[in-house]
């Protein structure tokens, strides 16, 4: 030891600390790296990403390598500092204690905390750069890692812990995917982010939430006669219309308006039977069918329109393929009556909004930023009737979800017009 220059010992100590810092930084970076980004880079042929994923698939061996290396390096650094202290100051217990404290401080600051913070700050960059070195070291140290893991396996067996249990069952849940999208920041355009979030919502809503209620359905009644049918066909807004006879629950089929218009132009003496011949079978949907499930059914059955019925077979409304697509990507500019009306409501300058009682609660929550409950009635009228437990016969107001709701007009056993007042922001207590 006396023949070794002092500078060489100090340099060796610095190298040991740097090597220990490398392993700590690389381990933290690998554990914190974004696995989805690494897989994307690996698919593009990035060698560093491929090597990093290879290491992450062998986490037990990787951690064994890092811990063995760090333990040896830290022990060597401690021994070297003790040797330096003895060389310079002799066998003084106080000096040895101070030297031990100094090396512990150096290891904590320069070989643990600082490199791990750096590794967590730049995980992908450091993981990609260090993966090649770690793979070579893991291959070289394979016998040592195997020997150490023999004893680790015995300890885990005694503790009844299965090594690698559930490692391949780590799947990203819909909630985690939603969080990833929300945290996408500037990497995902706002419109794309909105579409992705809407796709997640399709799993939680049913066709009843997005249907056109039967009171607003545009349908043809064969019992009205040919002249009335002609008038309704020339003024309708849709290309496909449900057709019933006498009562809305008696759906007899779906009429393609284009075919009917051609019939009007070609036939002089029209009868109801001419219209019956153009009908196609109606496609019925239970009201609790999930929206995403219904989208798949539409695709499998080559349908674009379905009649929604309840458990008693009574018609509740209808849903179309366009309704589901609009739920995913937003509303289109259409000529549907009420589409413009549903787009137009907003808070006025006084913080009020007039709405029809049939307005869906989901639309209100989206457009006005409210939080009306969606697990019960689907419309504003239904919500009010549930809260009041009766049909009001005079103007009345109440508060639901921090929003004041005022009944303006009641007609035919239903609330027709309602005024909402914007909730005041919560004030924090000093």
CATH number, domain at 351?
3.30.465.10
What is the rounded distance in angstroms from the CA atom of residue 245 to the CA atom of residue 383?
A: 32
Question: Does 197 share its domain with 215?
Answer: no
**What's the domain count of the chain?**
4
What is the rounded distance in angstroms from the CA atom of residue 254 to the CA atom of residue 318?
A: 12
Query: pLDDT at position 244, please?
Result: 92
Q: Residue holding tokens 């849709």? A: 238
Does 340 fall in a domain? no
Question: Does 196 share its domain with 212?
Answer: no
Does 430 fall in a domain? no
Does 303 fall in a domain? yes
Does 136 fall in a domain? yes
Domain holding 179, by residue range, is 173-201
Question: Does 158 share its domain with 183?
Answer: no
Query: pLDDT at position 378, please?
Result: 82
Read off the tokens for 62: 């990787």
Question: Does 101 share its domain with 192?
Answer: no
278 closest CA partner among 314, 309, 233: 233
- Listed in sequence order, the DSSP H helices in 57-141 are 59-89, 93-106, 114-121, 123-140
Query: pLDDT at position 167, please?
Result: 44
Does 110 fall in a domain? yes
CB atoms within 10 A of CB 429: 4
- Cβ-Cβ contacts under 8 Å for 31 (sequence gap 6 or more): none
Question: Does 356 share its domain with 323?
Answer: no
Query: pLDDT at position 333, please?
Result: 53
Query: pLDDT at position 356, please?
Result: 87
Question: Does 248 share its domain with 117?
Answer: no
Where the chain has pLDDT below 50, the residues are 165-168, 335, 338-343, 427-430
Does 126 fall in a domain? yes
Does 1 fall in a domain? no
Does 382 fall in a domain? yes
Eight-class DSSP state of 290: B
């Amino acid at each position: 030891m006396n023949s070794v220059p002092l500078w060489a010992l100090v340099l060796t100590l610095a190298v040991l600390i740097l090597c220990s810092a490398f392993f700590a930084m690389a381990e933290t970076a690998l554990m914190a790296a974004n696995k989805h980004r690494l897989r994307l880079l690996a698919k593009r042929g990035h060698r560093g990403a491929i090597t990093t994923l290879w290491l992450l698939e062998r986490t037990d061996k990787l951690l064994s390598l890092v811990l063995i290396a760090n333990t040896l390096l830290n022990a060597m650094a401690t021994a070297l500092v003790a040797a330096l202290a003895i060389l310079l100051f002799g066998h003084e217990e106080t000096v040895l204690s101070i030297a031990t404290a100094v090396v512990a401080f150096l290891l904590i600051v320069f070989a643990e905390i600082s490199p791990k913070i750096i590794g967590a700050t730049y995980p992908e960059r450091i993981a990609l750069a260090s993966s090649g070195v770690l793979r070579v070291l893991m291959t070289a140290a394979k016998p040592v890692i195997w020997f150490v893991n023999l004893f680790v396996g015995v300890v885990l067996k005694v503790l009844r812990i299965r090594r690698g249990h559930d490692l391949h069952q780590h799947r990203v849940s819909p909630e985690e995917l939603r969080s990833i999208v929300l945290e996408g920041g500037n990497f995902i355009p706002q419109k794309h982010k909105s579409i992705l979030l809407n796709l997640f919502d399709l799993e939680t809503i049913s066709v009843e939430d997005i249907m056109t209620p039967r009171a607003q359905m545009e349908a043809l009644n064969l019992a009205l006669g040919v002249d009335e049918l002609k008038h309704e066909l020339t003024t309708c807004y849709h290309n496909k219309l449900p057709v019933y006879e006498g009562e809305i629950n008696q759906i007899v089929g779906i009429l393609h308006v284009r075919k009917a218009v051609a019939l009007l132009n070609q036939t002089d003496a029209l009868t109801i039977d001419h219209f019956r011949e153009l009908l196609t079978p109606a496609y019925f949907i239970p009201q609790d069918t999930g929206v995403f499930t219904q989208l798949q059914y539409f695709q499998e059955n080559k349908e674009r329109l379905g009649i929604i019925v309840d458990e008693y077979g009574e018609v509740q409304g209808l849903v179309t393929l366009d309704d589901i697509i609009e739920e995913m990507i937003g509303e289109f500019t259409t000529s549907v009556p009420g589409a413009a009306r549903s787009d137009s409501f907003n808070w006025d300058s006084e913080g009020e909004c007039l709405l029809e009682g049939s307005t869906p609660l989901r639309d209100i929550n989206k457009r006005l930023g409210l939080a009306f409950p969606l697990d019960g009635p689907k419309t504003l009228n239904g919500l009010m009737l549930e809260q009041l437990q009766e049909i009001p016969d005079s103007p009345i107001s109440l508060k639901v979800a921090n929003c004041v709701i005022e009944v303006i007009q009641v007609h035919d056993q239903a609330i027709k017009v309602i005024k909402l007042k914007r909730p005041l922001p919560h004030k924090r207590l000093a």
